[in-house]
Amino acid sequence: MAAPKCPNPQCEYFNRTLPNTAQVCPMCGTPLGNVVRGSSAASTPAAPPPVAPPAFQQTPAFQSAPAYQQAPPVYQPSPPVYQSAPPAYQPQQPQVPARPSAPAAAPGRPSLKLIHSPSNREFPLRGEESYIGRRGGTVKPAPEIDLTGLPNDQVISRPHARIYWDATYATYTIIDSNSRNGTFINAQPLTPGVPYQLVDGDALQLGKDNLVQFTVAIA
């Protein structure tokens, strides 16, 4: 007769040969069939293997409903800020310096100007002293009363005469600067280097033959 074996498939001794004298499985206690006792063996039908209880399944835990989540705000792009175009480039016109005007006469000193008889051009005295003559040559600086370009200006010397205010006698004075063709007041020639008083209305002549004449205006 075959040796007994554990019929329980869940036992560690399942289908494992056990001693002939064993009536139950020493591991799980399942009764054994075909047990041999002593020399005589009784034929005992094998008990059906015990049915294992179903495995306990844990009831799933209650799951709460998901919390309500507020939808994220919809992104609203800011409208673009438009900047006005810069003003169009306006080229600046070069500033032309104004011609300096004759300085005003000091308090108590009248102004003087020479009026060219044929053309009525006016030549004011600038400051308390002015030289009369023409530009050119080695004479520098140019005379304050520049007569260059007048008709017959060739009779005018480059340093011809000097007019200045004499504060001692409160009068304007003219001195011939040793000119080539001479200086005349009311048709009278002046001695070079000697001062002569000027009076309003005097006729001033530079050079001979009455080619360049002025009227003295003092106001």
Question: Is-above-0.75 flag for pTM?
Answer: no
Residue 65 pLDDT more than 90? no
Task: Give the pLDDT of residue 136.
Answer: 77
Domain covering 112-218 assigned CATH 2.60.200.20 in the classification: yes
> What would the pLDDT profile of 177-198 be if each residue is shown by its tens digit?
999 999 999 999 999 999 999 9
Residues in a beta bridge with 161:
132, 176
d(CA 69, CA 25): 61
Task: Give the pLDDT of residue 138.
Answer: 67
Domain ranges of the chain: 1-49, 112-218
> What would the pLDDT profile of 43-58 be if each residue is shown by its tens digit?
455 556 666 655 555 5
Contact 4, 44 (CB under 8 A): no
